[in-house]
Amino acid sequence: MIESPLLEKMTGYIGGRWTDNAQGKTFDVYNPATGKVIAQAPSMTEDEVKAAVAAGKSALRLTSPYSIETRRKWLEDIRDALKANKEEVGRILCMEHGKPLQEAQGEVDYAAGFFDYCSKHIQALDAHTIPEKPKDCTWTVHYRPIGVAGLITPWNFPIGMIAKKLSAALAAGCPSVIKPASETPLTMIALFSLMDKHTDMPDGMVNLVMGKASVIGKVLCESPDVPMLSFTGSTEVGRKLILDTAEQVKKLALELGGNAPFIVFDDADLDAAADNLIANKFRGGGQTCVCANRIFVHEKVADVFGQKLAERVNRMTVGDGINGDVDLGPLINQAGFDKVKRHLEDALEKGAGLVAGKKPEDLGDNLFFPPTVITDVDRDMCCYREETFGPLVPMALFRTEEEVIEAGNDTEFGLASYVFTGDAERAQRVAAGLRFGHCGWNTGTGPTPEAPFGGMKASGIGREGGLEGLFEFVEAQTVPRGF
Ligand code: NAP
């Protein structure tokens, strides 16, 4: 079992207190690298989730809102607590997720960056008076907190994803009810432990619920006291939330699935493209929404680019991330492993070639999937159409710019995309043509706290990060004054 000073309590947190685990039921949390149970987290009841909503409602202040200075202090305190406890939060994250320790600790820094950004830009949420005087009135625009927000996060960034939401919610003055993924509740408990000790937020400002998604989701969707849900996860669950909140016309911020094209033109710096692809693709074991999912390589450079990838992939080390010198950890669970294996089998059966990695029949019976490169991929293969979410690099060939823009857009998703070319004008044309919320030019980097990030098409609604993200949890109210 995991031991940590940040995990002394293994319960939910409602109204400023750790809860009692009313029904006494728990669910197991595994270390995917060892397959061992490392903790048991509480499966909370519908009544407890309702109590969390009620606690949030009692912390909401409309007529005498929390001042900008107060909210800034909350954000700074959380940032500082995360930075001071980066090693331990990262260790917990590494053990429940499986990503390499250094990467896990880097995610804590990344998370702290969102609280830092919001604290530095919170002034943008102050009221302002517009310079014109239409209709003989003085018009003031206020940014009101939308109310209690339900924040639902996935397992692939156990601290990064909540940081994006919580920083903006607190900046707006919105209380929240937070549900982490059932694979990774421990990092969230650690965050609550830090907030409990190192901030003086009012009781009910942040509430933690864990357990059955159907129970928690139902309360958050049905409660009239929760006017907004911010969700990061699969498009499938995102669609369900749209349907389940339609009756009440709730505000939804949705960060959903991806199917990122990574395009390499024949005038690209191939070594830089290969390095960036490796860094992008194998982050989090290939389990990020911005991981390249379809690699389009110009036919003139496909062979040489494939060799460069194979050389790099063959040097990578796979193992338990807690041991330091590891590039790639395990996949999150058996279902995740089986999906990557199915995509590999399907591609090889339909004519793809294995450039690096193992054949499906040679894979082990643990969750460690070796980094794998395949070529001659086409649109009939599962790995082209679906988000693989694992360390499989599928390469497809292209000839022209028009053809590759069309192929890149040939997906319902529109989250991240990448183009590698030495031609600036071409890069501008391709970026404009790709219907993706993020398009890296000669970089495989993903989001950052300072810039807005989010999906087009079925990849979501809204933005996190940047000024756009700061405004997600407020509603503009105009007050024209007549005399
Ligand atoms: P998921 O299965 O959709 O789960 C995400 C969260 O939703 C979990 O906390 C889950 O709880 C909860 N959930 C499931 N059903 C629910 C319901 N009916 N009502 C309320 N909550 C519900 O996704 P995942 O497998 O954890 O994450 C992987 C997906 O997230 C990928 O598609 C990835 O691309 C996407 N993602 C997108 C972004 C982005 O920025 N766009 C970032 C990261 C990940 P349980 O764990 O208890 O089931």
Q: What is the CA radius of gyration of the chain?
A: 23
- Report helix, strand or coil for 138: strand
pLDDT of 146-203, one tens digit each? 999 999 999 999 999 999 999 999 999 999 999 999 999 999 999 999 999 999 999 9
pLDDT at 322 over 90: yes
**Is 255 exposed, middle or buried (CB count within 10 Å of its CB: 0-12, 13-18, 19+)?**
buried
Q: What is the pLDDT of residues 260-277, one digit of tens each?
A: 999 999 999 999 999 999
460 lines ligand 1 (CB under 6 A): yes
pLDDT, position 414 = 98
Is the pLDDT reported for residue 459 higher than 90?
yes
293 and 258 Cβ atoms separated by less than 8 Å: yes
Per residue in 438-452, pLDDT (tens digit) is 999 999 999 999 999
From the alpha carbon of 241, which atom of ligand 1 is closest? Answer: 19
Asked if residue 156 has its Cβ within 6 Å of ligand 1, the reply is: yes
Instruction: Tell how far the Cα of 212 is from the centroid of ligand 1, in angstroms.
Output: 13
Evaluate: CB of 181 within 6 angstroms of ligand 1. Answer: yes
**Residue 208 pLDDT > 90, yes or no?**
yes
Which of the listed residues 99, 234, 338 should we mutate to test ligand 1's pocket, taking the one with most ligand atoms within 8 A of CB? 234
pLDDT-based confidence at 97, cuts 50/70/90? very high
State both tokens at 141.
């625009």
**From 43, 152, 161, mutation site for ligand 1 pocket: most ligand atoms within 8 A of C-beta:** 152
> Could you tell me the CA-to-CA distances from 62 to 82, 174, 227, 438 in Å, in that order?
29, 10, 14, 35
3-state secondary structure of 254: strand
pLDDT mean over 403-424 = 98
Give me the pLDDT at residue 107, please.
98
Task: Please name the helix (run of DSSP H) or strand (run of DSSP E) that holds residue 112, with its range, or none.
Answer: helix 101-121
Q: Is the CB of residue 454 less than 8 Å from the CB of residue 463?
A: yes
Res 345 pLDDT > 90: yes
Domains of the chain: 5-256+459-481 (3.40.605.10), 260-448 (3.40.309.10)
Please give the C-alpha separations between residue 197 and each of 7, 192, 240, 253, 406, in angstroms, as whole numbers.
13, 8, 36, 29, 52
Question: Does the pLDDT at position 324 exceed 90?
Answer: no
- Our answer on whether the CB atom of 416 is closer than 6 Å to any ligand 1 atom is no
Decide whether any atom of ligand 1 lies within 6 Å of the 238 Cβ. Answer: no
Nearest protein CA to atom 48 of ligand 1, as residue: 213
3-state secondary structure of 188: helix
Residue nearest to atom 13 of ligand 1 (CA): 213
